[in-house]
Amino acid sequence: MLPALAVLAASCDNRPAITADYDVVPLPASIVLAENAPGFTMNKNTCIVASDADQQKNAELLAGYIADLTGLNLKVVDKAPGSNFISLENTLGVENPDAYALAVNSDNICINGATPAGTFYGIQTLRKSVPEAGENNVVFPAGEIVDQPRFGYRGAHLDVARHFFGPDSVKIFIDMLALHNINRFHWHLTEDQGWRLEIKSHPLLTEVGSKRSGTVLGANTQEYDSIPYGGFYTQDEVRDIVKYAADRHITVIPEIDMPGHMQAALAAYPSMGCTGGPYEVWRRWGVTDEVLCAGNDSVYKLVDDVLAEVCDLFPSEYIHIGGDECPKVRWEKCTKCQAKIRQLGLKSDKGGTKEQKLQSYFMKHAQDFLAEHGRKTIGWDEILEGGVNPGAVVMSWRGEEGGIAAAKMGHDAIMTPSKYMYFDFVQNEDRDKEPLGASWGKPLTVEKVYSYEPIPETFTPEEAAHIIGVQANTWAEYIPTFSHVQYMTLPRMAALSEVQWSSAPKDYEGFLTRLPQLVEQYKNQGYNYAKHVLPAETAEQPAQDK
């Protein structure tokens, strides 16, 4: 179409036009507007140009976002018409794979990524620049955005074990991550309170381990309901979710938490515990003494069998093997565990107790198995106790100390310190105004999340390079519904995304001025969200729960 016709087409339809605003969350690294040049009007004749299969997927997602926001159904084509198009490319010669440039003139918009993922982040910026939803055309001001993230690992975790969120909810969670430029979904699949992943070689893990007979009431009181609770993902559902995430340039990192947090597995296979049971799928929260027996060869075989299926289901370079909160009281008394300690010649010394060293041995077994299958491992920061195995990535949760120590030892680390990054903590200084949350942490406000700086000032550039990213964790003991997951994560996830993406100096007031436009996206998608830091006119319109 000739430019003149494009103008005609725009003026032919009587939809109102609204103007885009590129000051989105997370804030792009550079926005340069061409002050006196005319902008690009997106209308019903605008098409999206995608010249290969990767961009075709990106284009379909962009078309969906635009349809949701404006009611326009943009056509996806493989060759650019004369004008009035949005072209998606990935020929930007920049090393950072998530970088993109977004150029706007009156003829067209070009989003050029360093890779298809980079293009996708340009698409997210374009989508988020639409200031509100409605039956509108959109004028995008002329200019250029050049952008790239600070961290390659931008994670969000969801515990689906304490409470179970079905495949449709998990997909919505993945959509929420995409909206915030997050590229790693840490899926916490197994717990004392429920095993949520179908394992074909050990069917009792879900037949028995996914169901508990009731749940503790309130703040981990001594009272229980007697309502059977359960749920798990079939392998077909998992494959579908992994693909759904990959289409949105998100890698799913599964976590099989071991050797602690395994009471549901022990309920299914009691001979895998030190005492032989019987065990129940746990009905309360906290840390149980019942863990896998590290002196029993069958346990190592179980771990291998599970991890083999995990590798088959999840293409992720990293597999998370937990390692947190594993009490040693059973191991101290267990003849098999103590025999293993003697056989391995483990001794208590400055480097840790002999039981901590047994845990290092246990983790190394899983890590070696994964390495043989071409995978790397992530573990919670307890894996530093008793000696961390070479190549393991440390996820620092009890504070920043684990991540700092790991980086100084030359390990990669992911920062997720509870004080800043635990989205199960209440989000209001006045706890009484909030639904029940995890009580062991102080309230975690949006501002506190935003304030987090993951790299200590004293770090050398080499040490800093070992901090590969930042993640927030949403543990679900006190989060019974997916709508509540959204309330706990939005808009704290917006603050998280600035920590993960932006290299600019902190500017919380500036962030707050940009947030309402992002909330328009939440409303458009029907997400529930917390309203503490929003201006009244943004907050007052209740979102619909999905």
Give me the residues that bind ligand ACM (CB under 6 A), please. Answer: 324-325, 380, 397
Q: Which helix (H) or strand (E) holds 463?
A: helix 461-465
* Nearer to ligand ACM among residue 121 and residue 380 (C-beta): 380
Give the shortest CB-157-to-ligand ACM separation in angstroms. 9
Nearer to ligand ACM, 380 or 452 (CB): 380
**Considering CB distances under 5 to 8 angstroms, the limit depending on partner class, which of ligand ACM, Zn ion, none binds residue 123?**
none
Residues 258-277 that bind Zn ion (CB under 5 A): 274
Residue 176, both tokens: 């929420």
Instruction: Work out what residue 397 binds among ligand ACM, Zn ion, none; the CB cut-off runs from 5 to 8 Å by kind.
Output: ligand ACM
Segment 328 to 347, residues that bind Zn ion, using CB under 5 A:
334, 336-337
- Position of minimal CB gap to ligand ACM: 324
Nearer to ligand ACM, 89 or 159 (CB): 159
113 forms beta bridges with 100
Q: Please choose which of Zn ion, ligand ACM, none residue 172 contacts, taking the beta carbon within 5 to 8 angstroms, the exact cut-off set by kind.
A: none
Q: 233-269 burial, b for 16+ CB within 10 Å, e for fewer? A: beeebbeebbebbebbbbbbbbbbbbbbbbbbbbbbb
Q: Which residues pair with 137 in a beta bridge?
A: 17
Give 440 or 508: the residue with its C-beta nearer to ligand ACM: 440
Q: Least CB distance from residue 469 to ligand ACM, whole Å? A: 16
CB 119 to Zn ion: min, Å: 51
What, of ligand ACM, Zn ion, none, does residue 293 touch, CB below 5 to 8 Å by kind? Zn ion
- Distance of closest approach, residue 6 Cβ to ligand ACM, in angstroms: 54
| CA 100 – CA 146 distance, rounded (Å) | 6
Residue 325's binding partner out of ligand ACM, Zn ion, none, with CB under 5 to 8 Å set by partner kind? ligand ACM
Round to whole Å and give the CA distance between 444 and 428.
7
Encoded one letter per residue, x for contact with Zn ion by CB under 5 A and - for no contact, window 287-326 reads ------x-x-------------------------------
Which tokens hold the place of 269? 């296979």
- The residue among 164 and 397 lying less far from ligand ACM, judged by its C-beta, is 397
Q: Is residue 394 a contact residue for Zn ion (CB under 5 A)?
A: no
Closer residue to ligand ACM, CB minimum distance, 144 or 325: 325
User: CB-wise, 380 or 420, nearer to ligand ACM?
Assistant: 380
3-state secondary structure of 326: coil
In the complex with ligand ACM, the residue whose CB is nearer, 122 or 417, is: 417
CA dist 514 to 27, 121, 128, 528, Å?
9, 17, 10, 19
Please report, as a single letter, which amino acid is at residue 381.
D
Q: Choose among ligand ACM, Zn ion, none what residue 182 binds, the Cβ cut-off being 5 to 8 Å by kind.
A: none
Spatial distance between the Cα atoms of 474 and 487, rounded to a whole number of angstroms:
11
| Chosen from Zn ion, ligand ACM, none, partner binding at 102 (C-beta under 5 to 8 Å by type) | none
Instruction: Give the 3-state secondary structure of residue 233.
Output: strand
The entry of Zn ion, ligand ACM, none near residue 22 (CB within 5 to 8 angstroms by kind) is: none
Cβ neighbours for 292, distance < 8 A, ≥ 6 positions apart: 258, 259, 260, 262, 265, 266, 272, 273, 299, 302, 303, 362
Place of tokens 């931008």: 154
Question: Which does residue 44 bind out of Zn ion, ligand ACM, none, counting CB within 5 to 8 angstroms by kind?
Answer: none
Two structure tokens written together for 44:
């019903």
Which residues make beta-bridge pairs with 503?
Answer: none
Buried b (16+ CB within 10 A) or exposed e, 337-353: bbebbeeeebeeeeebb
Smallest separation, CB 379 to ligand ACM (Å): 10
Least separation in angstroms between CB 355 and Zn ion: 10
Going 442 to 445 to 448 to 454, the CA torsion angle's sign is: positive
Query: Nearer Cβ to ligand ACM, position 136 or 416?
Result: 416
Could you list the residues that contact Zn ion (CB under 5 A)?
Answer: 274, 293, 295, 334, 336-337
